[in-house]
Chains A and B, each alone.
Chain A
């Protein structure tokens, strides 16, 4: 049976089961708890089965899926590898809160693929290594460049991994009712099964399966709502009208007398807190607490529109001045970060040829586009349902989803002015992460759709976790242990080490996630700047400029990382500010520094050996899916060679 048939059948079966569960819910009153369990068991079961079927110990299969993944399927796998808990759970929520400014994420996380397609993907494939540090090691020679690559790869992948694990815990605890700490470990079992048994090969096919679940579950609720409201099942076409409706509603809300009263009370809270801070003689902890309280109160006093004569809600307003600079800088950092994240770049090693690598980048972006194109619509529909279903209800008769979500502590409903009715300003949002997961419930759709969305969120978080785990384990075992510490290690030994590292990394990530450190969300955004400032310049220069040499690349990576890290930590904790740039856009300084350093230092030092320069030139002309005869590294022979 062809791959297309297998996955076609799989999609039909998945939809069929979903419909059956829906029928069971309507006819026999299947409880939400059960629906949650069924969806989770079903999806984890699928991943485990794929892991068992595709198990392998061949290094080519284990590291790069035998370089035999067709472009379309590699595109799907990249799609789910890429779309993480942040894309699935958080993005639409951020859009619905931030409006235009949030679109930096939508553009940054898609536009980066163009950079990847024209600067990196096909050439990396032509080069034909196993990992990104592999490329750095071979192109620039010696261990130093490789080790910097390993450190940078681990730094960005691990923070990113913790965020995925946190997402898994959130979903499992909310829908299955398991405690967060246990939920984290349950979810990880599915991931570990695949990556330990079959490395990249298993991960690839699991990711394809996960992509199908995640895209179906993301589209279903919005399409359903769009059809319900406008009788057109294409939310991307209909939400323009909804934006106008939301805007009118926002203005209407702002003019409401009760709303004004509530906002005035919040304003007073903020002023009180600020006054107390000014008085001084408080401990640092108390000051922090007051600052947080003042921030929340200010937020409540101003959302969703700042003044009642606003003709355009803040939602659609394009930022200006420093706001515009930050918008552009963030978009840029997310783009170069996208093109520099090692777990995505390695996916293009798995295609059979350079041609397929090119086509594959196009498919990847197409599959990602399907979700991102819908996210702004999702945000608008979510905002609409919250306006419609929450504002103006009685505190005593809060909708069921409010009580169900309360334990997750993502939002709060407080009756500020004590009138027994929910005003918009009574709804205190602590994290917009609830938006996507709760929308089907808020809109009053059958619970089976919530179950579906849960399975999709789980698939998004787990598929990304899979790719990241593999990247981290390979960085340690292949790049650090095999290439640097013990190049004579046998194949069995290397694979065993990789497998042990997979389990250890997963456990450490789960353990760190159980602390639920708030800064993790920020760290993910940092990962993009780190990847953009460290890998992007060194990879692009390595491919496009023969003259780039080892000293230049190492200096460039270190300088890029140093400037980015300095600005991140400085602006986040010590009030450093260059042009008012946000912390998450730190790579806008690190990246140019990286490029310029590589350029200047390379020119000041000796040119790379002729052999390397020929290699760089040969990468420009695709041939047999391999830049040089045999393996570029001359070591990784097929099984049995060792």
Chain B
């Protein structure tokens, strides 16, 4: 890992920052807009017998959080390997 050049370091970190930003935007939209501010409006639609707004706050958002973290762990771990970062620990 000491072999990473400054440029490699920069692009490694850039990828992490971009991924983090995208995930946080999704997190924000799902929590505060879809399950929050827009929930009342979404309730007019029905999903599996649930009002959609309620469903997103009670079930949908949770599932999205789980997927987001799994995607993060997976992509970052792959990204490490691509840069030859292997931990011995």
Contact = CB atoms under 8 A, between A and B. Distances in A.
A358 B62 contact: no
Interface string B76-89: 11001000010111
Interface string A372-388: 11001000000000000
Contacts of A608: none
Interface in B6-43: 9, 12-13, 16, 20, 23-24, 27, 31-32, 35-37, 39-40, 43
Size band of the B side of the interface?
35 or more
Contacts of B59: 236, 373, 376
Contacts of B9: 620-621
A111 B61 contact: yes
A378 to B, nearest CB: 11
Contact of B87 (A113, A114, A359, A624): A624
Interface in A235-250: 236-237, 240-241, 243-244
Interface in A170-200: none
B54 to A, nearest CB: 5
Interface in A415-452: none
Interface residues of A, number: 50
A621 B4 CA distance: 10
A423 B43 CA distance: 30
Contacts of B43: 312, 316, 318
A233 interface: no
A327 interface: yes
Given A111-B31, A316-B54, A622 B85 contact: yes
Given A100-B39, A359-B73, A353 B87 contact: yes
Contact of A373 (B31, B47, B63): B63
Interface stretch (A20-28, A102-110, A501-509): A102-110
Interface of B: 1, 4, 9, 12-13, 16, 20, 23-24, 27, 31-32, 35-37, 39-40, 43, 47-51, 53-55, 57-59, 61-63, 65-66, 68-70, 72-73, 76-77, 80, 85, 87-89
A32 interface: no
B89 A625 contact: yes
A334 to B, nearest CB: 11
A355 interface: yes
Contacts, number: 133
Given A237-B48, A353-B87, A358-B72, A623 B1 contact: yes
Contact of B62 (A240, A332, A361, A372): A372
Contacts of A236: 59
Q: Which of A243, A328, A358, A373 has the most CB of B within 10 A?
A: A358
Nearest to A238: B49
A331 interface: yes
Contact of A622 (B63, B66, B80): B80
Contacts of B16: 620
Nearest to B57: A103
12 contacts: A100-B57, A107-B61, A114-B24, A114-B69, A122-B76, A240-B49, A359-B77, A362-B69, A362-B70, A372-B62, A620-B12, A622-B1
Nearest to A317: B40
A60 B80 CA distance: 27
Contacts of A366: 66, 70
Contacts of A365: 65-66, 69
A110 B65 contact: yes
A354 interface: yes
Given A358-B77, A362-B72, A376 B58 contact: yes
Contacts of B27: 111, 114
Contacts of B61: 107, 110-111
Given A621-B4, A624-B88, A114 B65 contact: yes
A369 B77 contact: no
A243 B49 CA distance: 9
Contacts of B68: 114
B69 A623 contact: no
A146 interface: no
Given A113-B65, A117-B73, A118-B24, A106 B89 contact: no
Contacts of B65: 110-111, 113-114, 365, 369
A240 B55 contact: yes
Contacts of B20: 118-119
Contacts of B63: 369, 373
A312 B50 CA distance: 13
A425 B65 CA distance: 39
B62 A318 contact: no
Interface string A82-104: 00000000000000000010010
A320 interface: yes
Contacts of A358: 72-73, 76-77
A399 interface: no
A560 to B, nearest CB: 21
Q: Which of A67, A118, A244, A624 has the most CB of B within 10 A?
A: A118
Given A111-B27, A244-B49, A369-B63, A622 B87 contact: yes
A318 B53 CA distance: 8
Contact of A355 (B23, B51, B80): B80
A623 B73 contact: no
Contacts of A103: 35, 54, 57-58
The 6 closest A-B pairs by CB, nearest first: A625-B89, A240-B49, A318-B40, A358-B73, A240-B50, A376-B58
Contacts of A100: 39, 54, 57
Nearest to B88: A624
A316 B51 contact: yes
